[in-house]
Structure 1
Amino acid sequence: MRLRLTFLALALVVLLAGGLAASFAWRAYTSPGPLPAPTQVVIPRGGTERIAAALAEARVIADPRAFALAAWLTRGEGPLRAAEFAFPAGAPLAEVLRILRDARPVQRRLTIPEGLTAHQLRALLERTEGLTGDIPAIAEGDFLPETYAFEWGETRAALLRRADAAMDRALAEAWAARAPDLPLTSAREALVLASIVERETGRPEERGQVAGVFVNRLRRGMPLQSDPTVAYAATAGAPMDRPISRADLDREHPFNTYRIRGLPPGPIASPGRAALAAATRPEATEHLFFVADGTGGHAFARTLEEHNRNVARWREVERQRGAR
């Protein structure tokens, strides 16, 4: 009898100790963690130890060993993934493990602005955090300006393929909806014209009218005389840090539309959807000229005489600005 009582007492102690241990483990698993504010953490490949170290460094977890044990005990719920995840403040171990197994990785975003040249797009991709890999050759005008979601570690080449496919779709849609009797023979020519329209004006309400001027000049066999094409010829698409000079205007170059008639041989930038629409459905207008008006927009003219008066007003604006 005494032996039986002793055994029962020992068993009770073991059960009590086990219950306390289980209770402690459950509290550690479900109690708020140390993270003081929401944060994003890039989870590395290489196993539980590396993951635990990254989480501890970011203060998402307090004890890497407790994390490793909890991950092992719940291993049947799925593997831990390597990606960038968002963790809420005070996330308990249970929530941290759920995020690593089931949550959607952080969606980063890259916006390609309208009117970027290939040179500028390359620089944008190089400085975008989270993208990896080399940048392939970038063909001018082939990538649709838009906001693209990506996950940490996506390659630059993969993002460019998506932007290229998006431009193909947008250009095909714009060309299919084009106005009749355009002086353009292909979707490629529409892309070239749209790129010039994009660089000529930043005002949405002017795009159709600017495109209408260029279409009128193309129909008459007049040179487009677009300053952005002159700048592109002078710098090969790099930013121009000086005013256009007389030498630039006189330079023999296939992109200098003061010296050639018709469209240049390729785009000078990546046009957005609105510029593509303007180039394929331009505004009906009698205007043949336009010049900056000093307010960020342009003054349009039907005749050379009217245009020259607008130019004189613009030069007066420039003179007054220089005198200040």
Structure 2
Amino acid sequence: MRFSKLLLPAFVLLFLAAAVLGAALFVPYSGFGKETFVDIPKGTATRHMATLLRQAGVIRFDWQFLLARAIRKDARLQAGEYRFHTAASVWTVFDRIVRGDIFYHQVRVPEGHNMFDIANTLEKQKLIPAEVFLKVARDPALIRDLDPQAPSLEGFLFPSTYRIARHTTAEQVCRMMTDEFRRVWKELNPAPETDIHTIVTLASLVEKESALPQERPQVASVYANRLRKGMRMDADPTVIYAALLENRYRGAIYRSDLDKNHPYNTYRHAGLPPGPIANPGRAALEAALRPAETKFLFFVAKPDGSGAHEFTTDLTEHNKAVLNYRRGAPQH
């Protein structure tokens, strides 16, 4: 009887302790406020992880996380950036970090963006400093097997939306993008004798000069016809790209830019520029591979703001179209 009287309080205490510990581990934190991100660098000690989570308002006490660690001492906690948008229990938080349920940033690379645009996007999203990305993008090593003539990765950083985790390196991002290019290029099924350097460079011009998808094969035909005749491309985007390469682009093209004797200036040099001037999408690549069969040699924007172009076969007709554009008159 006396033993039973001693056992009852001990049982009650044990039950209460279990209830407290259970609540500490399995009840969502009521003090959680708003969405927050916690960055756990590689090599972070468990004790410091607990502090980071508490300071971010994800858990109430450090010891709760350390208790979970003591119970799951063999679990491997993974570094990375974690997003917490609802109240969660310490056990759930701990489990997410064990599973490596890290947050991925959506990085959109639109068709026609160049490596400078991509670098700025990554920097704005605080993922990779622009210069760090550009240092890798300027090295064509990742696509040397595809295009031995490539001066950089420009043209091969395929436009798409990428899921990029914090602490992803510039090399890893460039590999994601060039791998996506390889996948799409294979699907396009180019002929074995296709000169990929010429096609990707041509496609980059098509991408920059055509706002309407349906016009891309025609724009490609203009440049293909000019190439066959040994004419200059006379493409404004190449002048802009030359200025970007020399860090002198001021948001518009000036006479000094047109007069600049730069290899990418297609007003000064016949044929295509030394390499792509942007990263073309699938439709532009397809247009460059299979341009429309036309005799067009010129095009100029229509003055109606539609993004469409007037295509012509000789300089006289082209000059008329240019005059109409400058006057803002409708095309006939």
- TM-score, with structure 1 as normaliser: 0.84
Q: 1:233 to 1:134 in 2, by over 3 A?
A: closer
CA distance in 2, matches of 1:206, 1:165: 28
| In the alignment, structure 1 residue 150 sits paired with structure 2 residue 159 | no
| Residue ranges of structure 1 left out of the alignment (5+ in a row) | 179-183, 319-324
Q: Residue 55 of structure 1 is aligned with which of 53, 56, 73?
A: 53
| In the alignment, structure 1 residue 18 sits paired with structure 2 residue 14 | yes
Within 5 A, what are the aligned runs for 1:126-275?
A: 126-131=123-128, 134-135=132-133, 136-137=135-136, 138=138, 139=152, 140-174=154-188, 176=190, 186-236=195-245, 238=247, 240-241=249-250, 243-275=252-284
CA distance in 2, matches of 1:299, 1:251: 28
Q: 1:245 to 1:89 in 2, by over 3 A?
A: closer
Q: Which residue of 2 aligns with 1:81?
A: 78
Q: Which residue of 2 aligns with 1:125?
A: 122
Q: 1:253 to 1:55 in 2, by over 3 A?
A: closer
Q: Which amino acid aligns with 1:123?
A: N
How far residue 185 of structure 1 moved from its aligned partner, in angstroms, is 6.2
* Contact 1:125–1:156 (8 Å) recurs in 2: no
SS in 2 for 1:42: strand
SS in 2 for 1:75: coil
Q: Which residue of 2 aligns with 1:94?
A: 91
Within 5 A, what are the aligned runs for 1:294-305?
A: 294=303, 295=305, 296-305=307-316
Q: Which amino acid aligns with 2:127?
A: G
* Contact 1:288–1:303 (8 Å) recurs in 2: yes
* Contact 2:263–2:269 (8 Å) recurs in 1: yes
* Contact 1:175–1:280 (8 Å) recurs in 2: no
How far residue 55 of structure 1 moved from its aligned partner, in angstroms, is 1.1
How far residue 56 of structure 1 moved from its aligned partner, in angstroms, is 0.8
Q: Which residue of 2 aligns with 1:311?
A: 322
Q: Which amino acid aligns with 1:216?
A: N
How far residue 85 of structure 1 moved from its aligned partner, in angstroms, is 2.4
* Contact 1:119–1:237 (8 Å) recurs in 2: no
Q: 1:242 to 1:58 in 2, by over 3 A?
A: closer
* Structure showing greater Rg: 1
CA distance in 1, matches of 2:186, 2:68: 53
* Contact 1:194–1:275 (8 Å) recurs in 2: yes
CA distance in 2, matches of 1:299, 1:92: 64
CA distance in 1, matches of 2:263, 2:238: 9
How far residue 187 of structure 1 moved from its aligned partner, in angstroms, is 0.9
How far residue 26 of structure 1 moved from its aligned partner, in angstroms, is 1.6
* Contact 2:127–2:167 (8 Å) recurs in 1: yes
Runs of 4+ in 1 over 4 A off after TM superposition: none
What fraction of aligned residue pairs are identical, expressed as a percent? Answer: 37
How far residue 49 of structure 1 moved from its aligned partner, in angstroms, is 1.2
What is the aligned residue count?
308
Q: Which amino acid aligns with 1:53?
A: T
CA distance in 1, matches of 2:322, 2:189: 34
